Amino acid sequence: MEEGTKGKKTIFIGGIGDDVDETVIYEHFAAFGDIIEVQLPPAPANPSKPTEIKHRGFAFVTYSSPADAQDAIDNMDLNELRGRVLKVNQAKPMKSLQPPDGNRAIWESEEWLQEFAKPLAQSGGVQGRTAQRAPSGEADEQANNEEPDAMEE
């Protein structure tokens, strides 16, 4: 099934109570067309009550045709199911877990790294600055001649 088509055939049902299961949803929504799938996402497990299985308060129903899905939306949105008002609309695809490029640090792109990043020996860290000030032999002598407790200002 194509991703674009699936979105038009799948509806979101929000606001369902704890006493509602897949069978109840199937019974109430089958009147609008052939149902392919009913999904009731489970809530995170409660370790103190391992036998208790709860859902997250919403469900997804996939119909065989977009017209059936639209009929269900038109007829069931803001209707009541076991004392709770339902919110029924077109299901939207999940947002990607990867942030858009606008929120990434600039140095995460390969192009930036190739253009601006230098090898560690050339990067100009403390050792690189010391080596630039004095020839290599003098830098070692200065490091060895300094008192261990001396502080720089």
Q: Residue 73: exposed, middle, or buried by beta-carbon count in 10 A (0-12, 13-18, 19+)?
A: middle
Distance CA 89, CA 142 (A): 74
Q: How far is CA 128 from CA 36, 57, 122, 139, in A?
A: 66, 60, 7, 11
Kindly report, residue by residue over 97-132, the tens digit of the pLDDT.
555 556 667 666 777 777 777 776 666 666 656 666
Instruction: Compute the half-sphere exposure of residue 104: CA atoms within 13 Å on the CB side of its CA.
Output: 10
Report DSSP letters for 68-84, one per residue.
HHHHHHHHHTT-EETTE
Looking at per-residue pLDDT, the higher value among 57 and 143 belongs to: 57
pTM score above 0.85: no
**Lookup: tokens for 63:** 């119909």
Residue 73 pLDDT level (bands cut at 50, 70, 90): very high
What pLDDT score was predicted for residue 99? Answer: 52
Residue 56 pLDDT level (bands cut at 50, 70, 90): confident
Distance CA 81, CA 99 (A): 37
